Amino acid sequence: MDAITIRGLTKAYGPRPAVDGLDLDIRTGEVFALLGPNGAGKTTTVEIAEGFRHRDAGEVRVLGTDPQGAGLAWRNRIGIVLQSSGGLDLLTPREVLASTAKVFTRPRPVEEVLAEVGLDDRADTRVVGLSGGQRRRLDVALGIIGRPELLFLDEPTTGFDPQARRDFWELIRTLAAQGTTILLTTHYLDEAEALADRVGVIAAGRLLALDTPDALGGRSAQEATLAWEEDGIRRSLRTASPTADISRLSARFAGGEVPGLTVSRPSLEDTYLGLIAPHLVDDRSEVPA
């Protein structure tokens, strides 16, 4: 059974649909990144899958259950990291996690979670005294304290410094290796490329492309660009057969190293921007007025 199955999902705010007949399957145990510009329908889709928003039409199954009206037993199996949280300023991270852990059947140890998100040295500081990045780490800790089977991550590393982001990536890889299914939304393309087994690109409420990061949009089959230095000039060549062309270049340099040789293909960002470009003029909001 897939962790998430969506068929014909539709949700409109006023006359225009935010999600327009979306079909999507997310496999059990995979890390899936849902990408798209602002107003694409990502947030609406995720909120419907989380059970926070009602759909207009379509079928949705999350861990085998329709999230629309699902009960506490189902919620005990999921974890959610929202874009922001509030109302916790007078508590400490240790207190917040200890109280939250009580609502779950099989919570993780509070001290373990504090260490994994890098808050063990700030565990007894009131939340109001935490930096923006530290508050974000607390949001992540709240999402994983219940040992979820399925974890929703909405822009999880916003406000993280580069080292904190890398540490968080390792945490996600650990959770995935333990069998946790993860649905990630992010604007960081390097994050999607580093973490996701598959990537879906959504715009105007519809799925534009779905594949592994390496193959998205035919990326792996696109021409490579060779660049090198010759006679004091930087030269380049686009080719569908880079290995053969590198051999020919090497022969021109008497079988030695080709100076300044680089080989590149379109990045995930290049492919993503090409997919969404026709939809960027459609400036609509995902949230109701």
Tokens of 235: 């030269």
pLDDT, tens digit, 9 for 90 and up, residues 151-193: 999 888 877 788 878 888 888 898 899 899 999 999 899 999 9
CB atoms within 10 A of CB 255: 8
Average pLDDT over residues 261-268: 86
Identify whether the C-beta of residue 142 lies closer than 8 Å to the C-beta of residue 96. Answer: yes
Domain boundaries, the chain: 4-77+148-217+270-279, 223-264
The average pLDDT across 41-46 equals: 93
| 190: Cβ contacts below 8 Å, ≥ 6 apart | 268
Q: Which residue has the tokens 């080292």?
A: 163
269 vs 257: CA distance, rounded Å: 30
Residue 213 pLDDT exceeds 70: yes
| Mean confidence (pLDDT) of the chain | 89
* pLDDT tens figures, 45-96: 999 999 999 999 999 999 999 999 899 999 999 999 877 677 888 999 999 9
Q: Which secondary-structure segment (H or E) carries 192?
A: helix 189-195
The domain made up of 4-77+148-217+270-279 has a fold known as: Rossmann fold (3.40.50)
Give SS3 for 22. Answer: strand
